[in-house]
């Protein structure tokens, strides 16, 4: 009888939703991509690159984790900024576990304290992940652990390097043990619930961000106007890249169209891996002044309004 009960326990499935939160550029998107073994979340050196809550699905032997990769917490300066901030706040209230990422090479900031204030009265367990341990000494890591443990009662504190993969297995083991019993929300072969159109937009925006200066990142919005499989099997994709000023348009296009051409080539190669077919990528740049404060533009670009 005892043996039958033990077998029943072993067969129980565990699942849950986990929000990845933190300041901009602490490595949330890199961590998610490393966990999944495939790239689904935008990564760049610029702050505020993730704008939508990207859902990534990780499958264990008898478990499933659904990750929400939230935008970096920041002070809103536009309607877009407020929508982005609210998406992080909403995610915290929707999940079973919160994973808060901080960078080992950066001291605690106002964004960290604000996030912790949002978590203060929640019953949701919070795991602190100290990322980028490959950039600091062991002594510095121990100092960071002590520093953050005095700021909040974390369920666990785990130092990792999302870039190199160090301690990532340990992190996943900890998260897996914390999962409640639950159903399998997604099939095994599904790693994200994001529509291909949204993934295309994120890839195109990333390739432009990697090639532009500081004034550009917050000004760019990408919208997939057309996504069509032609008779020859090639996928035709037309995207409009929105900027706020003519000067930004010139930067995005580049000298004789070089920047846009290079970004488009790299984006096309990556999109082909996602859709599994040859792709013809058609990119256009348009000026729409102050688009970040226009409700209809935010809806068109896929950002949900906060009510």
List the beta strands (DSSP E) in 134-278: 156-159, 221-229, 235-243
Q: Is 24 one of the annotated binding-site residues?
A: yes
* 221 contacts: CB under 8 Å, gap ≥ 6: 205, 241, 242, 291, 292, 297, 301
Q: Is 132 one of the annotated binding-site residues?
A: yes
Q: Is 27 one of the annotated binding-site residues?
A: yes
The answer to whether 148 and 26 are in contact (CB under 8 A) is no
Q: Which helix (H) or strand (E) holds 285?
A: strand 279-287
Q: Is 25 one of the annotated binding-site residues?
A: yes
Q: Is 134 one of the annotated binding-site residues?
A: yes
Query: Tokens 């080539």 appear where?
Result: 265
| Tokens encoding 174 | 């900890």
The answer to whether 153 and 162 are in contact (CB under 8 A) is no
Q: Is 174 one of the annotated binding-site residues?
A: no
Q: Is 293 one of the annotated binding-site residues?
A: no
Q: Is 153 one of the annotated binding-site residues?
A: no
Q: Is 85 one of the annotated binding-site residues?
A: no
The Cα–Cα gap between 248 and 262 comes to 17
Q: Is 131 one of the annotated binding-site residues?
A: yes
Q: Is 188 one of the annotated binding-site residues?
A: no
Q: Which helix (H) or strand (E) holds 281?
A: strand 279-287
Q: What are phi and psi of 84, to 5 degrees?
A: -65, -45
Q: Is 73 one of the annotated binding-site residues?
A: yes
Q: Is 112 one of the annotated binding-site residues?
A: no
Which residues are part of a known binding site for GTP? Answer: 22-29, 69-73, 131-134
Which residues are part of a known binding site? Answer: 22-29, 69-73, 131-134
């Amino acid at each position: 009888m005892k043996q039958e009960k033990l077998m029943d326990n072993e067969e129980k499935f565990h699942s849950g939703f986990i929000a990845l939160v933190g300041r901009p550029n602490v490595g949330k998107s890199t961590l998610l991509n490393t966990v999944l073994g495939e790239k689904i979340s935008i990564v760049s050196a610029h702050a505020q690159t993730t704008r939508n809550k990207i859902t990534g699905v990780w499958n264990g032997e008898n478990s499933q984790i659904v990750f929400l990769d939230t935008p970096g917490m920041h002070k809103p300066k536009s309607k877009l900024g407020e929508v982005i901030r609210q998406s992080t706040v909403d995610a915290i209230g929707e999940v079973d576990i919160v994973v808060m990422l901080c960078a080992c090479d950066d001291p605690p900031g106002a964004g960290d304290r604000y996030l912790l204030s949002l978590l203060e009265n929640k019953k949701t367990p919070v795991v602190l992940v100290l990322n980028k341990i490959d950039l600091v000494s062991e002594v510095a890591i121990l100092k960071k652990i002590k520093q953050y443990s005095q700021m909040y009662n974390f369920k666990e504190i785990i130092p990792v390097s999302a870039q190199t993969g160090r301690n990532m297995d340990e992190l996943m083991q900890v998260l897996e043990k914390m999962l409640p019993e639950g159903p399998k929300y997604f099939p095994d072969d599904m790693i994200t619930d994001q529509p291909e159109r949204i993934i295309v937009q994120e890839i195109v925006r990333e390739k432009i961000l990697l090639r532009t200066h500081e004034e550009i990142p917050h000004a760019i919005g990408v919208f997939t106007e057309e996504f069509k499989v032609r008779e020859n099997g090639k996928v035709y994709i037309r995207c409009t890249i929105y900027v706020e000023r003519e000067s930004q348009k010139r930067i995005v296009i580049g000298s004789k169209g070089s920047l846009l051409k290079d970004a488009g080539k790299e984006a096309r190669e990556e999109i082909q891996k996602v859709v599994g077919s040859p792709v013809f990528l058609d990119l256009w740049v348009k000026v729409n002044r102050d688009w970040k404060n226009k409700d209809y533009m935010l809806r068109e670009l896929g950002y949900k309004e906060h009510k």
